[in-house]
Amino acid sequence: MNIVVCVKQVPDTATERKLRSDDKTLDRDAADGVVNELDEYAVEEALKLKEAHGGEVTVLTMGPGKATETIRKALAMGADKAVHLSDDALHGSDALSTSYAMAQVLKKIGFDLVILGSESTDARTGVLAAMLAERLGASQLTLANKVEVEGTSIRVQRITDYGFDKVEAALPAVVSVVEKINEPRYPSFKGIMAAKKKPVETIAIGDASIDAGQVGLDAAWSEVVDFAAAPPRAAGTIVKDEGDGGANAADFLASKKFI
Amino acid sequence: MSEILVLVEQVEGEVKKVTLELLTLARSLGTPAAVWLGPGITADAKAKLAEYGAEKIYVGGSEELVQYVVAPKAEALAQLVADKAPAAVLVAATAEGKEIAGRLAVKTDSGVITDAVGLGEGFVADQSIFGGGVNVRAKVRRGTPIVAVRPNSTAPAPSAGAGAEEEISVTLSEAAKAARVVERVKQEKGARPELTEAAIVVSGGRGVGSAENFSVIEGLADALGAAVGASRAATDAGWYPHQFQVGQTGKTVSPQLYIAAGISGAIQHRAGMQTAKTIVAINKDPEAPIFELADYGVVGDLHQVVPQLTEEIKKRK
């Protein structure tokens, strides 16, 4: 089975994240880059499926040169090879252009299964997997906390507001995973060393028939009009419980008409 | 004024509150038209949609629309967009609502904005990003604006619309039927409101201490008619089911009131609840970062404070 895992480098949530004042895009230099957490679960699930069914796991990322760090981590966990789509023309791409560019690469490299995290910790749009399925004409099995493959069919448990749906489809498919699906492995020393020798192909938009007029800031389907740091919340009232903390909190709730 | 399509969310035939919020929001920007996709629309549901301003109700009643994952609803909406040329399409910013919006955006070659917490003139949307640290105003500049709006962003207000029903027939492509739902498994606990759209959420974290002790959190939630949430520490420990997790890798909630009990308020948790209108925190540790967000905080043991608060609420009702 030919599995492609899409991973994204995102600014570390623990550091201050900013938008650039010039073009209102993510300031990638302001914070440390890490692998999007949910994508690590996607890598783990891909490796498990490979262990069970054979095949190959390819890591795909789109991002500037620095995003190579993200690829190395996935390779160290056990992925076989990587494709890095990197081109200045992609800077400022929104979800629609990102899904278009990634779909073009996926068409070029081929796949039975595409796996990714259900959302990224930076943009948090949660739309990429659905968009990829739409663009690729592949089955959409998103928000999965359990994945089973049998021959050319795939079954997942799709998390819903009321519990979950059992969903089945034929490959090729796009799967997005939620955090509950597994426990991502830590790269071993051996894995880290082996990752250095694994093939990483860096491609530009021309290598995947990506139309420059459909990507980047100027082509984006949506735009940030303006932005500002959220005003700090006004300091609240903090009281120490002296045996009447619950009653005091009730007074507060009553003053706000919640009771 | 141009029509604004509002995708109806419903549970067993009952229109969800978020849809009434979207109709209220749509009224301020154009002529609201509700879109019901799936079988089972009732006279009550139609009356409710009209009561909150739907001038039109488009009804696609085919069973097929709900038998497959997301794609059929996006396809039906795309056909409506082509037929009616609406000014915008609004959906609820739930996990599935956003996926529908994403596929619709590709199909109609339109821009999409997710997790709007407000929407104004020219369909300029307010968003709160980076765990609530930055406020953004964004707009669609290609195609029909598609906006996924967070529940609780607008107070629903009735204002009668004509509610003229129009049946729509939807022809699904084979591609839309690729992923079939074979079984729906309900795990919802009791009669509590759904977490992402509840007006009040009471969440418990590490400080709760055990699965049994979550009854303290549930007791307060029930006294307030609230939904129960949990921090990742609590769901990872197996004290509360994962689908109730609030935070970066869980649900995002934006209620009128959020009560955090025994939750320290790590950035990952804050990312899921920071846009709550009023925040109350109860924690033993006076240094807990949750107090930086709290409108009202009690430094104390939740096992003392929460039961007392629950009793007080019951007394005052």
* pLDDT 10s digits, A51-69: 999 999 999 999 999 999 9
Three-state DSSP class for residue A26: strand
The highest-confidence range among A230-239, B110-119, B129-138, by mean pLDDT, is: B110-119
The lowest-confidence range among B141-155, B178-192, B294-308 is B178-192
Which residues in chain A touch residue B307, judged by CB atoms under 8 angstroms apart? 246
- B113 shares contact with chain A (CB less than 8 Å): yes
pLDDT at A30 over 90: no
- A233 shares contact with chain B (CB less than 8 Å): yes
Q: What are phi and psi of A9, to 5 degrees?
A: -90, 130
Contacts with B, A 83-112, CB within 8 Å: 94-96, 99
- A228 shares contact with chain B (CB less than 8 Å): yes
Q: What is the mean pLDDT of chain B?
A: 95
pLDDT at B20 over 90: yes
Q: In chain B, which residue's Cα lies nearest the Cα of A20?
A: B134
How much is the pLDDT for A79? 98
Taking CA atoms, A133 is separated from A10, A143, A174, A232, B107, in Å, by: 23, 13, 6, 40, 12
Q: Distance between CA atoms of A124 and B248, rounded to whole angstroms?
A: 9
The lowest-confidence range among A37-46, A134-143, A188-197, B184-193 is B184-193
Condensed to tens digits (0 to 9), the pLDDT of residues B51-95 reads 999 999 999 999 999 999 999 999 999 999 999 999 999 999 999
Q: Give burial (CB, 10 Å; 0-12/13-18/19+) of A129.
A: buried
The lowest-confidence range among B58-67, B166-175, B242-251 is B242-251
Q: Distance between CA atoms of B284 and B288, rounded to whole angstroms?
A: 8
Closest by Cβ to B112, choosing from A19, A127, A179: A127
Is B102's CB within 8 Å of A134's CB? yes
Closest by Cβ to A250, choosing from B139, B278, B313: B313
Place of tokens 């903090």: A238
pTM of the entire predicted model: 0.95
Q: How confident is the model at residue A114 (pLDDT cuts 50, 70, 90)?
A: very high
How much is the pLDDT for A233? 83
How much is the pLDDT for B7? 98
pLDDT at B21 over 80: yes
pLDDT at B1 over 70: no
- B175 shares contact with chain A (CB less than 8 Å): yes
Q: How confident is the model at residue B188 (pLDDT cuts 50, 70, 90)?
A: low
ipTM higher than 0.90?
Answer: yes
Residue A172: asked if its preceding bond is cis (omega within 30°), the reply is yes
